[in-house]
Copies of this chain bind each other. A is one copy, B any other.
Amino acid sequence: MIKAGIIGASGYAGAEVVRLLLNHEDVEIVAISSQSYLGQTFSSLYPSFYTIFDKEFVEDNEVIDQCDVVFASLPHGLSEKYALECQKLNKKFIDLGADFRLDNEDDYKEWYGLDYHEKDLHLYSVYGLTEVNREKIKESQIIGNPGCYPTSITLGLYPLLKEKLNASTHIMIDSKSGTTGAGKSLSETTHFPKCNESFHPYKVAVHRHTPEIEQELSKMYGDKIQVTFVPHLLPINRGIISTIYVPLKKEVNEEDIEKIYHDYYDKEYFVRVLKKGDIADLKYVQYSNFCDISLHFDKRTHTLVIVSCIDNMVKGAAGQAIQNMNVMYGLDETKGLQLKGPSF
């Protein structure tokens, strides 16, 4: 049994790691920590788990001491020291925050306002977009788990950019996320009477996931890609859907696109390219680790519309983290993630 621990398990992403690992037959959750809820039980915060998982939150260091693999879900700037400690102790470290996602320290400084203190760590860490970086993840001890928006967007664009079918290197991306993405902390935005029956974009073209998206898309494309990225807040709990607009090269036709996406993804359990005519809906990925992609060719303007959906808490956070853990340990990638999401 793998001994797993979660630092920052009281937040939504951390708590979701707990929920999923409880279904993983090769893993035992040995310790969970929380600064704010120290000494309280997990189930007092998340009553679904009453009688199932009543473990208490302990200090962060106790988690590292007791575990083989550490998941961290912390505000940015706090992960480096734990990653370093894990590295020294030869333990695996999977960071669900933003600290190991950006290759370029300048980007981190610009968008997050902080420096890297352990620059070397960033050379060893791997960006954990499993389907794209699987081979590197196998060899790595430190994973920067992708952001939720970037996961939906990079998976949606990967075959297209890799094959350079786009006619433009400036891409418009309109994303919509459920409210769990805003986290457990109270805010005006997620006050029910305000959020309910509401819909609006936020951080228009200035969201922190922008440099992460551009970094990964540019790597795929092999040259600089720029995006205008606009996230919106959906009055639902779970799910992200990204609608992506890409003018295609003249010589590319609809069949080419379909074929390439299936070539890339038909072997991937967690990426489902929908049948032509079907439209991706975030309802059908909720509570699962799937990324559903539907492709729509606007022949009038020779533009491809890509619709890419994930559960922001699963494939967009905890699920992909566990998928990465499975890869790191050489386990079947779907272990603990064989959830059957509901359709209603």
Contacts and interface: CB of A to CB of B under 8 A. Distances in A.
Contacts of A274: 50
Copy tally for this chain in the complex stands at 4
Contact of A228 (B227, B305, B344): B305
Given A301-B228, A305-B204, A247 B170 contact: yes
Given A49-B340, A51-B272, A200-B281, 9 more contacts: A12-B344, A47-B292, A50-B292, A178-B193, A186-B187, A204-B296, A204-B307, A205-B301, A230-B245
- Using C-beta atoms within 8 Å of the partner chain, give the interface range for chain A: 35 or more
Interface in A15-65: 15-16, 19-20, 22-23, 45-53
A193 B342 CA distance: 11
Interface stretch (A74-82, A84-92, A149-157, A236-244): A236-244
A51 B265 CA distance: 13
A300 interface: yes
Interface stretch (A100-108, A131-139, A283-291, A319-327): A283-291
A232 interface: yes
Nearest to A174: B174
B48 A193 contact: no
A46 B285 CA distance: 11
Nearest to A187: B186
12 contacts: A19-B340, A46-B343, A48-B342, A50-B284, A172-B245, A184-B344, A186-B186, A197-B236, A201-B279, A201-B305, A202-B279, A235-B235
A329 B286 CA distance: 32
A162 interface: no
Interface in A160-197: 170, 172, 174, 176, 178-180, 182, 184, 186-188, 190-197
A198 to B, nearest CB: 4
A19 B341 CA distance: 8
Nearest to A287: B342
A243 B228 contact: no
A303 interface: yes
A112 interface: no
Nearest to A198: B283
A161 to B, nearest CB: 17
A278 interface: yes
Interface in A293-344: 296-298, 300-301, 303, 305, 307, 309, 313, 338, 340-344
